Structure 1
């Protein structure tokens, strides 16, 4: 039945002992992660007996208790479909074991080995031959072009088995195929807890769901969203915890009133280019990420639980409201992690009024990590940056991504107004331990900013500098880089501080990655 993956495993029949080791080591890893086996846990005891049984086949010495077929099928059903299919060559007992898998995941990795027609054949054979009454997860990443009728048949079969997770991704068909039309009435079942749609057209009900009341996660990417869908989801999903809306069109005014939701924690909105305004009323919200145009964005006064916030406002060619960041800051006064674009920081740190620069008020008393994303047309200078960091008294990690920005455009304002203030700054940053500067251009103003961090951060542990994309580390500029490192070492106050200069594409250590790194890199892919 499972032809394609059997072809892959057929060439390894002479190495059955190796496959047995890999297969059951995967099973046994769930117990190893807990460092010890719980003898009171029946599932772990059965799994240990099964592993001992395979060991006995290799070295038959003491007697062993054999397991029934039902127990083996239940264990194999907990494996992903690919690994479960590979178990079919272990022995005749496992020949049709893949038919009982409850995790049917056909992700984008299949497209690296098979064509779209071959993937459709694999999916069809698995779903038609599936004999388990339950499916826990169904994930499908496919080009829906000319396969609409077949996909509808698959969905009818899968949804009859009450899945908990449904993930449909048809982005592989863009831009040659249109979005897949999802019959949302078929998804209105009680078992579904996590829904993810990509490049689909959803016909949401206008008033209420019939049975979809246990929904916890909703992710929409490249989906035509109707204006009333947010209200419909919030009113009919009391257990909703997370909502992601990425590059969705058809949505101009986003309003969410989630005061009745007791578990709603995450809301992410990214690159909805037609979005004009957004209003959020969610007292339990802890994570809010926004990437898009700087239009009207407002919160309810009761947003006291926010701890993780991203305001990445992109540059637009039209006039935008002034003092936007100053209006938003009171709502994020308890935030621990913040990513902010330079367009917002300009409104807060350097609002020019009758030739005078007004500084920000002290708001962020709990902030521990800041990531600053610079725009090309920004006019921030080093003093504006440290003036903002001065309002974060317990800051521990600072990430500064210059992108294509250069301080040269702000040189005149820097020399006239702020250079003297910058040099006379006397406060220290006692909690700052990590500073990372990306797209470093080796200018004198940038070096002065690094000197500030090395002298004022008395407990600094790491200063990581990443060069520009087009800056090459060659033998000619190697002495200049060595001289830069020596110069920075002479400025540091903390004896334990480490100064490192890396290439642009250097594989970064997990310790010097910002908390929002995955979100920034993940969503632009779509």
Structure 2
């Protein structure tokens, strides 16, 4: 059989293109209904402007996402006018998603009207972000009366829920609150009513004293985020199904009753104003994290694990092992006394570790590190006893690499102690030329003779 000629190939392509035109295969009314219903609202509005054919298409959008409509080229009054027009023209029986990022001052009545319209059309996901106003909106809406809501995210917006709601928020899976007052009774009411809750985020919320999560009867609650709540002093978690825990803030007391399901933790500890933290509080919480498979934290965590005097001049490490840990990320924050020694001492307690990320992009080691040189360097570089052998480690990444001599100590440590190493990436910031050190060519060459797969990238 002869191969097709150029002309026949062109004819075949043209025929294929004709068959693929949706306007010729899908009935006009069906195509218009699909566009009016399933296109995100901003895409629909753009289509109505650019296409004469769809200029009169009805607005039935299930997804009313207005998060990107606010820009420097649009004044607030214009944005409000567009949103108001959409709601006035909306002919659909349902709205599944409403996302609003707006300065609420002066248009509170319209926001309440839009939100109530969504409540009447079986809203499933509601996101209200009033951070542009830098003022909390006390919205007089009873969220607990909404039966269909599954995702609720409020930024700079007051949230209240009665302790016993017969119908409302029973289907809620995700709740995220930012910059609002949170009371003890509010937390209790959330877990009494939202029986299907899977994720809770509390970000920069005002709450004094103790955050107590009583989710012992919940079967789906898996994720908790507590981010920068400086007045918080204690966290108590009774959540047997909790898998992911993220905390960002000062070191405080934490008590987790059951940790069998806990797999991932992001513990971004920061210094308080006096550059002091309660080390004993952190040591007391370490036992809750020994079963983790994924851990991201800061050098404050490692400082709590350093050797300390236990009497008679003896130094001992806190007795913690991380038998299940496979991924570890450490972020260096200033000030810290942590060095490669502290990293290595921790890693040797993680026999299943596969991936390590060291973030030093906002940190620079001192030019001279006398304690490391005198007390720790020889111990780390002694490979005869294999105290620091990392048999399972395959991936290492150093973020913010600047070529400091101690950074090369870290690189050399991994290439010598990780026999299964496959990837070692050094991410150098593009704007870090002033901070970068003169390359130690001889040492880099030595490292590459041990492991040739070292990769340097600019980010």
Residue in structure 2 matching 1:85, options 45, 54, 66? 45
TM-fit CA distance, 1:80: 0.1
> For 1:90 and 1:319, how far apart are their aligned partners in 2?
60
Does the 8 Å CA contact 1:370/1:399 hold for their aligned counterparts? yes
Q: How does 1:161-310 map to 2 (within 5 A)?
A: 161-174=121-134, 178-186=135-143, 188-208=145-165, 210-300=167-257, 302-310=258-266
- Compared with structure 1, are the counterparts of its residues 410 and 389 closer, same or farther at alpha carbon in structure 2 (3 Å cutoff)? farther
Is 1:411 aligned to residue 369 of structure 2? yes
Q: Residue in 2 aligned with 1:377?
A: 335
Q: How does 1:357-506 map to 2 (within 5 A)?
A: 357-361=315-319, 363-408=321-366, 411-425=369-383, 426=386, 427-467=388-428, 471-472=432-433, 480-481=438-439, 483-484=440-441, 487-492=443-448, 495=451, 497-502=453-458, 506=459
Flag structure 1 segments of 5+ consecutive residues without an equivalent: 1-48, 57-63, 507-526
TM-fit CA distance, 1:267: 0.5
Q: Residue in 2 aligned with 1:329?
A: 286
TM-fit CA distance, 1:372: 0.7
Deviates more, 1:142-151 or 1:413-422: 413-422
Residue in structure 2 matching 1:348, options 294, 305, 320? 305
Q: Residue in 2 aligned with 1:515?
A: none
TM-fit CA distance, 1:70: 5.6
- Compared with structure 1, are the counterparts of its residues 69 and 406 closer, same or farther at alpha carbon in structure 2 (3 Å cutoff)? closer
- Compared with structure 1, are the counterparts of its residues 223 and 339 closer, same or farther at alpha carbon in structure 2 (3 Å cutoff)? same
SS in 2 for 1:84: helix
Does the 8 Å CA contact 1:379/1:410 hold for their aligned counterparts? no
Flag structure 2 segments of 5+ consecutive residues without an equivalent: 1-18
TM-fit CA distance, 1:200: 1.0
Deviates more, 1:395-404 or 1:165-174: 395-404
- Compared with structure 1, are the counterparts of its residues 71 and 454 closer, same or farther at alpha carbon in structure 2 (3 Å cutoff)? same
SS in 2 for 1:77: helix
> For 2:391 and 2:60, how far apart are their aligned partners in 1?
58
> For 2:30 and 2:208, how far apart are their aligned partners in 1?
50
SS in 1 for 2:254: strand
TM-score normalized by structure 1? 0.76
Give per-residue Cα distances to partners, 1:198-247, cap 9 Å, x unaligned: 01122332444642211100011112222211110011111100011111
Residue in structure 2 matching 1:130, options 66, 90, 93? 90
Q: How does 1:501-512 map to 2 (within 5 A)?
A: 501-502=457-458, 506=459
TM-fit CA distance, 1:444: 2.5
TM-fit CA distance, 1:165: 0.4
SS in 1 for 2:59: helix
Q: Residue in 1 aligned with 2:109?
A: 149
Does the 8 Å CA contact 1:85/1:98 hold for their aligned counterparts? no
TM-fit CA distance, 1:341: 1.5
Give per-residue Cα distances to partners, 1:372-405, cap 9 Å, x unaligned: 1122121122211101011111212111122444
> For 1:237 and 1:307, how far apart are their aligned partners in 2?
23
Does the 8 Å CA contact 2:160/2:186 hold for their aligned counterparts? no
The two structures, once aligned, show a CA RMSD in angstroms of 2.8
Does the 8 Å CA contact 1:311/1:341 hold for their aligned counterparts? yes
> For 2:455 and 2:53, how far apart are their aligned partners in 1?
59
TM-score normalized by structure 2? 0.86
> For 1:156 and 1:345, how far apart are their aligned partners in 2?
50
